[in-house]
Amino acid sequence: MSVKVLNDKVILEHAGSSVEIYYYGATVTSWNYRGKELIFLSKKSFLDGTKAIRGGIPIVFPQFSKASDPSAETAALPQHGIARISNFELLEDLTDSESVSIKLGLSDSQISESLRKFWPKKFKLIYTVTLKDGALKTDLTVKNEDSTPFDFQALLHVYYSVPDISKLSVEGLINVSYIDKVNKFAKGIENDQFVKITQPTDRIYLDVPTETIKIHLSEDFKEGFTLQRNNLKDTVVWNPWIETAKSLTDFDDDEYKQMVCVEPGHVSDYVNLKPGESWECGQIIEYKP
């Protein structure tokens, strides 16, 4: 096992697998399991810090969508907030016989002035990425270092690599209420045990009660992922499909066939964090070949 520290990223290696994390956005851009890439990264994605990385696992903070209420603290911030377009710093690396991990940090003093003026809160993020044999764990800690409370949302925007979108299904969302962003934010209840992607999909599943969500990559359910969420009550399922894919400058026209986002988050309302307090969340993704 090893930790390779480069100018723009860190690479973790363990048990024949590797994970690549860019400082920009602390975005995981690759999880290679014994020669098989498990995380989707668009071949058109910008990796030079000029634009948010399209793919991987971007961190969404302190807001998910643009705030509908113009009086909200985060109303002036860009879509998905500031973390994914800011440079984190490497704090430490940790290794033992079963895993290798790193901690990355972001504080308000590292945010550009153009963004800080829209959200002038004092905060610190600590993001821990841990690679185990067949599993990837990411944990986020938010600390309020201001003198007053602030509200925020958080989400881990995971792009899974998919061999064939027609064979994919997501299990664990049946009977869960959702908001359908594609259909003018209409509300509904999921009736399918196995959710298929057959059209533009952008749903926020609310207060998901199941402990785990399964992403099946094959119709026989042999290959896929198991997602365990920690303190992230909502889950977003997204695929741009044909027309939206064509409209994205950092996404190839046919790449919608090769990915799906299943994103654990706290996005249906806001977390209120008091001065000096911390809030923690995370996920564990296990891969079954």
DSSP 61: B
- Residue 73 is among the residues annotated as catalytic for this protein: no
3-class DSSP assignment, residue 210: coil
Nearest Cα residue to 6 out of 139, 108, 110, 102: 102
End-to-end CA distance of the chain: 21
Strands 278-288 and 99-107: unpaired
What element of type H or E holds 241? helix 241-247
3-state secondary structure 158-206: CEEECCCHHHCEEECCCCCEEEECCCCCEEEECCCCEECCCCCEEEEEC
157: annotated active-site residue: yes
Amino acid residing at 77 = L
Which one from 80, 171, 263, 266 is the annotated catalytic residue?
A: 263
- Asked if residue 54 belongs to a known ligand binding site, the reply is yes
Residue among 14, 157, 216, 266 flagged as catalytic: 157
CA–CA dist 250, 169 (Å, integer): 25
Question: Is 203 annotated as contributing to ligand binding?
Answer: no
Gap between the Cα atoms of 19 and 34, Å rounded? 11
- Sign of torsion over alpha carbons 186, 189, 192, 193: positive
What are the angstrom distances between the C-alpha of 138 and each of 56, 144, 225?
12, 20, 15
- Residues noted as catalytic: 157, 263
Residue numbers in the known binding site for substrate are: 54, 79, 84
